[in-house]
Structure formats: C-alpha cells, structure tokens
Amino acid sequence: AEAPLCPVPPVSEPELLAGDNPNIVVTADKAQINQDTLAFFSGNVDIQSRDAQIHAQQATYNKREQFLGATGDIRYRDRQIEVTSDDLFLDADSGRLNLRQTQYRLSAYPGRGAAGSIGINQREGIVLDDVTFTTCPAGQEDWALKAGSLELSPGKIWGEAKHTRLYIADVPVLYLPYFSFPVTDRRQSGLLFPKFTSSDRVGLSYEQPYYWNIAPNMDLTLSPRVMTDRGVQLKTEFRYLSRKHQGQLNLEYLDNDRRFELNEARYAYRLSHLSQLSENWLFSADINDISDDNYIVDLGSDFYSRADTHLYQTLKLDYFSETLSLNMQLRDFEIIGDHPESYRTLPEIKLNYQVPFGSVAHFGLHSELAYFDSPDPGKHAASRFHIAPTLSLPLSNEWGELLGEVSVLHTRYHQDVAADSTLAKNTSRTLGKARLYGAINFERTLNFSGQSLTQTLEPKMQYLYTSYEDQSEIGLYDTNRLLNDYDGLFRGQSFAGLDRISDANHLTVGLTSRLMDESESELLRASIGQIFYLQTPEMGNAQQNSDRSALAGELDWRINNHWSLQTELQLGAEDQAMERSSMSLNYQPSASKLLQATYRYVENIGNEEIEQAGFTVAWPLAKRWQWVARWYHDLTQHRSIETYTGLQYDSCCWSIRLVAQRYLSNRFDALGHQNTNEFESGISLQFEFKGMGSSDSARSLLDEGLFGYRQPYFVNQ
C-alpha cells in the first residue's frame, strides 16, 4: 500500500497497574519517608497507578493529606492524554491533578498542542486552559485553534472549546465564543465538523454543531445551518440510551425558505426507537416525515436519498419465545410525489408457532390478521385473516439437504365494497401446497498453476404443487408479482403478500458451481436455473405461455487480485429475449484506485424499459490529490442521468474537496408531477479539518452523489 501521507508518531501505551490494583507504586533512585506520612523521592522518579503513569525528577507525597507534587521534566500519561510539563500537583479535595506550562498529545486521536494548565480528574475529564489545538504534524501547523478553555469530558465524543480563535497559517480568521468538534475518529452520524459547503442548491452553507451532554446516557446536538440562499435551518439530534430503551429523534426546521415557492415552514422529523419491555417483549418505532415532496431534493438529508419514493412510518410490538413469535404492527407510509396513496395496515398481527414434531419433522403455524385502509377514497377498506399450518421435514448433512413441506393455506376476507362490485363482500380461499426440495454438494480438488483449488458442484431441484382457486373476487392490498431472479426460482411463491397465491405444478432445477482457494474464499461462483411447468399456471404472467420460466443465471468471478466480474441475467423462455441483465466489471489495484463499468437492462419495470450504463473511476492524481468521477447514462432515453466528478486535496490535517455534478432533477412541480427531462447541476466546495471527525477521502468521495450514496435502513423488522 502507499506510504502513509502523514505518519503519526506512535503513542506509547502507558504502563498502568492492573484495573483492580488500588495501590500507587513509586520507583526512584532515592526515597525518604518520615513518620510514614511524608515521602520524598528523587532521581528518575516513576509513579504508577491503575489510572496513570507519571515520570519526574523529584516528587513528594503526603499520605494523610493525599497531596502529591512533582517537578523536573514531568511526563504524565493516561489512556486519553500524554502531557509534558515542569510542575505537577494533585489537589486533594477536588481530586484534580494540575499540570502547568504543558505540551500535550491526545492518544486516541491525532490532536496535540500546548496549554497554560491542564486539569485532569476522573469525573470532569480533562480541562485545558489557555490552549492551542491542532491535528497537524509537528512543523506543518497549517491551522491551529487557540482557545480560552477546552474540555474533554469522559464518555463524550465531542470536545468543547470556549473563546476560540481559528488561525490558518498563523493568521486569525475566525472567532467563535463556543465551538465543539468530534474527538474520536468515529464519524458521528454523518455530521462533519463544521461543514463549509457551497452549492447552487443552497448557496454558501455553514453548519456548526453544538453538543449538549444532558446526562450520561442522553445527548442533544443542535446544528444551526446558515444557508445564504435559503436562510437558517435548525437541525437537532436527540439520542438516548438506557439499559432497556434506546433511540434517536431528529428534527429539522427551516422557518421561511427564500427560494421555496410556497411560503410555509419546511420541516422533517425522524424517530427511530427500540425498547426491550421485558424478557420477551420488544417495542420499536421507525417514524419519518417531511413537510413537502421537494424537501430532500432542495435541502438534502443525512438519512434519505433524493431518489426515495416513500418513507416508513411503523410502530411495532413483538413477543418472542422459544417456539412462538407474535408481531403486531401499525404500518403506514409517507409517499413522495404524486403517486396514489398506498394501502396501510392499521393493525397487522402475525403469529408464528414452530415446534418439533416427532424427532425430525417440524410443525409450523403461520397466521395473520390485517385491517387494510387507505387515505385514498377510491381504495376500500378490507380485513383479512390467514392461517397456514405446515408440516416440514428438513434433513441435512455435510453433503446434502432434503426438505419436504406440506401446508394448507386458508384465507378469509371481509371487503368494504358496494354490492355491485366485482369483489365479494365476504369471501374465502383454501389452497393446498406441497414442496419437495433437494440439494447435493459434490466437491473435487483441482491443481491450477501450482495452486490447489476446490471446485464444488451443487445441483438443486424442487417440485412445487399449489392448488388453484379463482381469486378474482379478492382485491389487491399488499400483493404484487415478485422479481424472479436466480434466488427467486426456489422461493415457492411468485407473489409478495397474500392476496394472490399462484397455482403451481412445476419442477425447478438449478446448478451452482464454486471455485475456492486454499483459504476457502470464493474465486468464482456461477449458478443457472429454470422452472419447468408441468402444467401452465392459471395465474402466471399473462404474455408468457411457454412451458418453462425465464432462464436465470448469475456469475461472480474474482479473476485475480485486481479484476472482478459480476453478472446476472434472465432469458425469456419463448424468444430467448433478455428480460433482465446486469453486469459489473471492476479493476481495483489498490484502495484508492478503482475502475468500474456497470450495465443494467430491465425489459419491463413499472411498465418502463430501463437500459442504463455507468462508469466509475477513482484515481490518485498525485501524492495528495484524489480524483473521482462517475458517469451514468440512460441508453433508452439517450441522456446521462448523473455526471459527477470530485477532486480532493488531502493535507495531513485538512482537506478541501471540489465536487461538480449534473443529475436528473426529480423536483416535483406544484401538482406533484415530475417533468422527466429537467436537469440540475451544482458545484460544491467543502473544507474540512482532518483528524476531527475526518473521513478517509477516497472512500467518502465515492460515497457522494446519487449513485454512490449508501443509506442505512432501520433494521429489526
């Protein structure tokens, strides 16, 4: 790998006593103790306790008054900080250790500097007065903070400075009465320190987080964001963590946005919460809402992508035990844009019961009760009860797997429809289902240019029978057709949800082969599979009348250390036409060098044909310059949907990033429609202090922009 740009001098670990050892051990050339209370030490004095280690030329310790003093090239080290000074004393009643005229270095983090005095104490943490702070290496102090005081409280990931002057190349450029910055290298929920960005969406924007540690397990971060073109947006993040409850509440509020066509306040809120009510009961909430459809597009968000179509609003209560799981949910959605309102379940209750049946078989009971309604008057309400007892026989050993499953699926509906509707007010459906799945693992070793590889051959077969019943009297509430990629072939159901259960009498055949090196990591994995319909399904795809499904295949091939290829395809049965295919070719010789070409084709999704190709490059131009570019082109519409290029200069303790991008604007007009060929472009400049909540540049540049951004879901569903 490349030599590190900024070698950080290694921080020597302090030799501390074991955690349970309350003693204080002093080694010296000479020691004198009077009346077992007043001790004088001299000559290379080394004082050790479980919390810290001090080195000095002379030290005095008064056992009764708990007073310790030391002088002569003092070096103090604990787990957080390393200090050199020439005068130290322990102030007994406050328990605070004071050092004067100091040079210091933080250990978990490349921050260092000088301080008139440093106070260290178990409860309040570290207080540095008349302090300079920088993360730049010695001799290259491109920037430095000078502050009246800097506090590093225990357990807090932020440092808080007061009366701070920012010097860039020894020129004072900024005065901040209060100023907080992350002092751990863990990037704090995407909040960069402080963000100076400029883009044509918001103009010049400066975001300064204020951190308030309300209690050991609660903190509040207020980040006013001043935007020259829009005004002041307040972003707040409240986090709480206790043994039983944890969660995070984000509120964002912009009073009047000068560039917003409607003059209303714009806000967004997000609550993600998890409580363990008791040994078996869990409660969780994932509530998200925005004030208008263009909120994310205009103001950006740390949580949502501009291309999102909906936000989750879910409340959930779960009960788990060894054999039983009960799951009660209220599930609603905030739809973005002028799409019809969706059905929501108020509530939806699922009960799963799983218990061994005899020595090998398992009896399972899956049942559901759901009440569907929708704010869209055109959508009638309905309630559904479903119960599916299943008997399954799973057998597996090292070379194979056999699963037999028999189940009955009974569903009852009460649909709030008018008498003349094609849907029935009350109806029910009972289907039988049988599934037999088998897989065998064959292996052989291959010698390939001196390397011994293992190749596996894994044939899989599944017979599925599901009885048929006409379901035209049942409405569609939570059902649509599933994507049948290779993994979907063996799923045993072709619809998501329960309002349609397709009849089936088919045999699925699949074959996977893997090539693994000595350490059993996969060099190549290829799979191919197809469904053979012994009887054409009544509820199959309308236009597909062949006796077999699309041929689905996938390949994941690590050609060598630098090259890798992933591809997936589905060939239509009758005309061998490509229904879906995707390909990604990657050349990655090192962490900061990447060339990637991707191609995607989907014959029909949301009755649109999609054919898009993308090209991504990340390349270091010079020792400190990293360039990233990404270009996504829509081949059916003959236009590029994202052109993104970013250039970042990385010095040891600061970085500046210039990003230019042009992308399809999916801004909604007043009627909630999106015109389909309006583009937006923006240039954004971002200055960042490295070492403070910094991020590794090559990686983060790749993550920016539309197609790079990786967004977390609230899991635990």
Partner 1 sequence: TEGDFQQPIQVSSGSQFVDGKNKTSVFKDNVRIEQGSLLIQADEVEVIASEGKGKEVFIATGNPTTYSQLMEDGSRISASAQRIQYRVNGRQIALEGQAQFQQDNSMVKGDRIIFDMDAEQLLAEGSKQGEERVTTVFQPEEKAAGNDNQNQKEPQEP
Partner 2 sequence: CGFKLRETPLLGASFEQFYVHSTQPHAPLYRAFYQRLQQLPYQLLEQPEVTEPVITLYPERLDRRLLSLFSTGQVAEYELVYQVRYRVTLPNTEPQEFEFELRREYQDDPNAVLAKSREMQIILSEMRDKASERILRQLSKLG
Distance in Å, CB of 214 to partner 2, minimum? 24
What region does 528 belong to: left with phi over 0, alpha with psi -120 to 50, or beta? beta
109 binds, among partner 2, partner 1, none (CB under 5 to 8 A by kind): none
- Is the previous residue joined to 712 through a cis bond, with omega within 30 degrees of 0? no
What is the C-alpha to C-alpha distance for residues 711 and 715, in angstroms, rounded to an integer?
12
Among partner 2, partner 1, none, the one that 292 touches (CB under a kind-dependent 5 to 8 A) is none
Identify residues 348-387 at the interface with partner 2 (CB under 8 A): 354, 356, 372
Shortest CB 656 distance to partner 2, Å? 27
Q: Are 482 and 488 in contact (CB under 8 A)?
A: yes
Candidate residues 34, 278, 521, 576; the one interacting with partner 1 per rule CB under 8 A: 34
Site for partner 1 contains 26 (CB under 8 A): yes
CA distances from residue 93 to 65, 97, 125, 271, 701 in whole angstroms, order as listed: 9, 11, 16, 44, 51
Q: Does 95 bind partner 1 (CB under 8 A)?
A: yes
Q: Which stretch binds partner 1 (CB under 8 A): 86-94, 232-240, 377-385, 649-657?
A: 86-94
User: Are the C-beta atoms of residues 404 and 435 closer than 8 Å to each other?
Assistant: yes
| CA–CA separation, 21 and 49 (whole Å) | 8
> What stretch of H or E contains 699?
helix 697-703
Cα(202)–Cα(500) distance, integer angstroms:
47
Minimal distance in Å, beta carbon 18 to partner 1? 13
Q: Nearer to partner 1 by C-beta: 31 or 168? A: 31
Query: Binding string, 38-77, against partner 1, x = CB under 8 A?
Result: -x-x-xx--xxx-xx-x------x-x--x-x---------
87 contacts partner 1 (rule: CB under 8 A): no
- 687-716: which residues touch partner 1 (CB under 8 A)? none
Residue 444 is a binding residue for partner 2 (CB under 8 A): yes
End-to-end Cα spacing for the chain: 40
Residue 498 interacting with partner 1 (CB under 8 A): no
On the 0-12 / 13-18 / 19+ scale of CB atoms within 10 A, 171 is exposed
Say whether residue 342 binds partner 2 (CB under 8 A). Answer: yes
User: CA nearest 506: which of 538, 543, 472, 458?
Assistant: 538
- Residue 701 is classified by DSSP as H
What does the DSSP 8-state code read for residue 297?
H
Helix (H, G, I), strand (E, B) or coil at 667: coil
Contact 130, 100 (CB under 8 A): no
Mask for 392-431, x = binds partner 2 (CB under 8 A): --x-xxxxx-------------------------------
Which of 25, 33, 559, 605 binds partner 2 (CB under 8 A)? It is 605
Task: Using the rule CB under 8 A, give the single segment among 7-15, 27-35, 174-182, 309-317 that binds partner 2.
Answer: 309-317
Tokens encoding 270: 């997000």
The region that residue 169 occupies, defined by phi over 0 for left and psi between -120 and 50 for alpha, beta otherwise, is: left
Name which of 123 and 710 has its Cβ closer to partner 2: 710
Using the contact rule CB under 8 A, the part of the chain among 140-148, 178-186, 410-418, 488-496 near partner 2 is 488-496
Pick from 609, 633, 629, 604: nearest CA to 619: 629
The answer to whether residues 143 and 168 touch, using CB atoms and an 8 Å cutoff, is yes
Binder to partner 2 among 442, 448, 532, 625 (CB under 8 A)?
442
Please provide residue 106's backbone torsions phi and psi, each rounded to the nearest 5 degrees: -80, 145
Residue from 86, 185, 517, 634 in contact with partner 2 (CB under 8 A): 634
451 contacts partner 2 (rule: CB under 8 A) = no
CA separation, residue 475 to residues 350, 353, 531 (Å):
20, 28, 28
- With respect to partner 1, which residue has the nearer C-beta, 42 or 467? 42
Q: Is residue 15 involved in binding partner 1 (CB under 8 A)?
A: no
DSSP 548: B
β-pairing, 310-320 with 281-290? antiparallel
Of these partners, partner 2, partner 1, none, which one is at the site of residue 52 (CB under 5 to 8 Å by kind)? partner 1
Q: Kindly write down the DSSP assignment for every residue of 622-647, as one continuous string.
A: ETTEEEEEEEEEETTTTEEEEEEEEE
Q: Select from 26-34, 129-137, 195-203, 450-458 the region that touches partner 1 (CB under 8 A).
A: 26-34
Q: Scanning residues 571 to 590, which ones bind partner 2 (CB under 8 A)? A: 582
**Shortest CB 402 distance to partner 2, Å:** 11
Q: With CB under 8 A as the contact rule, which of the stretches 57-65, 106-114, 615-623, 662-670 interacts with partner 2?
A: 662-670
Task: Kindly tell me which residue out of 9, 12, 13, 32 binds partner 1, with binding defined by CB under 8 A.
Answer: 32
Q: Which is nearer to partner 2, 4 or 606 (CB)?
A: 606
In the set 156, 225, 266, 344, which binds partner 2 (CB under 8 A)? 344
Q: Check binding of 565 to partner 2 (CB under 8 A).
A: no
Binding residues for partner 2 restricted to 59-118, rule: CB under 8 A: none
Total interface residues for partner 1 by CB under 8 A: 39
Smallest distance from partner 1 to CB 30, Å: 5
Beta strands per DSSP E along 242-339: 245-254, 266-276, 281-290, 310-320, 324-335
Task: Report the residue number, 69 or 347, with the smaller CB distance to partner 1.
Answer: 69
Q: How many CB atoms lie within 10 A of CB 238?
A: 17
The residue among 582 and 586 lying less far from partner 2, judged by its C-beta, is 582
CB of 34 to partner 1, least distance (A): 5
Residues 108-137 that bind partner 1 (CB under 8 A): 120-122
Q: Are 349 and 366 in contact (CB under 8 A)?
A: no
Per-residue three-class SS string for 551-571: EEEEEEECCCCCEEEEEEEEE
Does residue 236 touch partner 2 according to CB under 8 A? no
| Interaction residues for partner 1, span 535-564 (CB under 8 A) | none
The answer to whether 81 and 49 have CB atoms below 8 angstroms apart is no
Q: Which of 92, 204, 440, 577 touches partner 2 (CB under 8 A)?
A: 440
Residues that bind partner 1 (CB under 8 A): 22-36, 39, 41, 43-44, 47-49, 51-52, 54, 61, 63, 66, 68, 78, 90, 92-93, 95-97, 120-122
